[in-house]
């Protein structure tokens, strides 16, 4: 006896996605503009830090385009074969964003180290670096404000937010490097700033990579204790056993749970399957806020006929 309780969360999730797309479009326009400005500034000033920030902005522009595309794909309705829809397109986009960020870190570490060890005859125009870094900082601050005002917990949006945060810090470091060069003519400040940008980006990219992997590997959500779930289900009237309990995340904000629940024959005869399923779903929804649930209710008398498979 199987049953799927999916409550009306899809509409709010779709509405949140539409709002996220509007924010991403605005940030895309700002990011693309800053990219052009910083590329010009890096060429005129001869700054590695500004070039590194511009390179990061280029990956951000591509990542936001990808995030927008993934959001539109994820909003498509489920089909005969795509029974869960394409929600995980968002998670795949977040995974790709994380990998791109890691690549940026490697490049910045290499280029910054080379410039620090052997600066050569290159000199950074401090005044131009300060002007262009300040322009980038202002634009990034606007983008950060736009994205941070979203109440969404989408991994896709988080990926874009993390990248804009890294860009903002990068612009700050480039600005500081320009001031140091301008005041003390310490040219290595430019290379040091690029290395610090790499250090700041790394933990965010690793965190995003980890969160995306948890979803794709169908690991139980970190805030959901399955032993606690089993404990609460066992206290539903008539329940004598809970097995084959699984929890996973379809995409960020949509946790799911399934279980086989053995119920006494007398309880089923008295209350019926429908009331039992309602009690199980209410239990999980009230205590754990998991609304996408599937329960297979089994009479206790049938337990000896069920192949439980491996213990898991």
The percent of the chain in helix, strand and coil, each rounded to the nearest 5, is 70, 10, 20
Q: Side by side, which strands form the sheet with 2-6?
A: 2-6, 292-299, 254-263, 239-251
**173: region left, alpha or beta (phi > 0 left; psi from -120 to 50 alpha):** alpha
Query: What percent of the chain is predicted at pLDDT more than 70?
Result: 84
Q: For the chain, what percent of residues have pLDDT higher than 90?
A: 32
Owner of token pair 């601050």:
141
Q: Which of 234, 45, 225, 241 is nearest to 127 (CA)?
A: 45
User: Do 103 and 166 meet the contact criterion of CB atoms below 8 Å apart?
Assistant: no
Region 155-167: mean pLDDT is: 73
What confidence category does residue 70 fall into, taking pLDDT thresholds of 50, 70 and 90?
A: low
Q: Element (H or E) spanning 1, and its range?
A: none
| pLDDT one-digit tens code per residue, 176-194 | 999 999 999 888 899 899 8
What 8-state DSSP symbol labels residue 221?
P
- Strand 292-299 and strand 254-263: the pairing is parallel
Is residue 187 helix, strand or coil? Answer: coil
For 29-90, the DSSP string reads: HHHHHHHHHHHHHHHHHT-HHHHHHHHHHHHHHHHHHHHHHHHHHHTSPP-SS-TTTTTTHH
Q: How far apart are CA 88 and CA 214, in angstroms?
A: 12
Residue 165 confidence class, pLDDT cut points 50, 70, 90 = confident
User: Assign residue 244 a region: left if phi > 0, alpha if psi is -120 to 50, beta otherwise?
Assistant: left
Contact between 74 and 218 under an 8 Å Cβ cutoff? The reply is no
Find out whether 224 and 253 touch, Cβ atoms under 8 Å: no
Q: Which domains, and CATH codes, for the chain?
A: 2-216 (1.20.1510.10), 226-305 (3.30.70.1350)
Mean pLDDT, range 18-28, rounded to an integer: 78
Mean pLDDT of 268-296: 93
- What are φ and ψ of residue 95, in 5° steps? -65, -45
State if pTM tops 0.95.
Answer: no
**Contact in structure between 159 and 23 (CB atoms under 8 Å):** no
Read off the pLDDT of residues 107-149 as tens digits, 9 standing for 90 and up.
Answer: 888 888 888 888 766 688 899 999 999 998 998 888 888 877 7
- Taking alpha carbons only, the member of 87, 125, 99, 112 closest to residue 216 is 87
């Amino acid at each position: 006896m199987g049953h799927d309780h999916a409550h009306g969360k899809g509409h709010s999730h779709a509405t949140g996605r539409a709002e996220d797309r509007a924010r991403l479009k605005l940030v895309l326009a700002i990011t693309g503009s800053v990219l052009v400005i910083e590329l010009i500034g890096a060429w005129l000033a001869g700054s590695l830090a500004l070039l590194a920030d511009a390179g990061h902005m280029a990956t951000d522009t591509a990542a936001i385009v990808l995030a927008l595309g993934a959001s539109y794909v994820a909003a498509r309705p489920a089909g005969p074969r795509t029974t869960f829809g394409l929600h995980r397109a968002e998670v795949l986009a977040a995974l790709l964003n994380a990998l791109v960020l890691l690549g940026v870190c490697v490049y910045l570490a290499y280029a910054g180290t080379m410039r620090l060890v052997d600066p050569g005859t290159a000199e950074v125009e401090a005044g131009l670096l300060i002007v262009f870094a300040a322009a980038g900082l202002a634009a990034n601050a606007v983008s950060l404000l736009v994205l941070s005002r979203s109440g969404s917990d989408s991994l896709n949006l988080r990926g874009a937010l993390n990248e804009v945060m890294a860009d903002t810090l990068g612009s700050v470091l480039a600005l500081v490097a320009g001031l140091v060069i301008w005041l003390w003519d310490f040219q290595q400040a430019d290379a040091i700033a690029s290395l610090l940008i790499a250090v700041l980006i790394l933990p965010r990219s690793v965190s995003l990579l980890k969160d995306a992997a948890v979803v794709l590997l169908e690991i139980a959500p970190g805030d959901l204790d399955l032993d606690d779930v089993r404990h609460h289900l066992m206290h539903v009237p008539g329940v004598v056993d809970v097995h084959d309990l699984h929890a996973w995340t379809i995409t960020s904000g949509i946790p799911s749970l399934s279980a086989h629940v053995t119920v006494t024959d007398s309880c089923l005869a008295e209350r019926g399957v429908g009331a039992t399923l309602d009690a199980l779903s209410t239990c999980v929804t009230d205590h754990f806020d998991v609304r996408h649930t599937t329960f297979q209710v089994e009479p206790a008398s049938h337990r000896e006929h069920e192949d439980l498979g491996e213990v898991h």
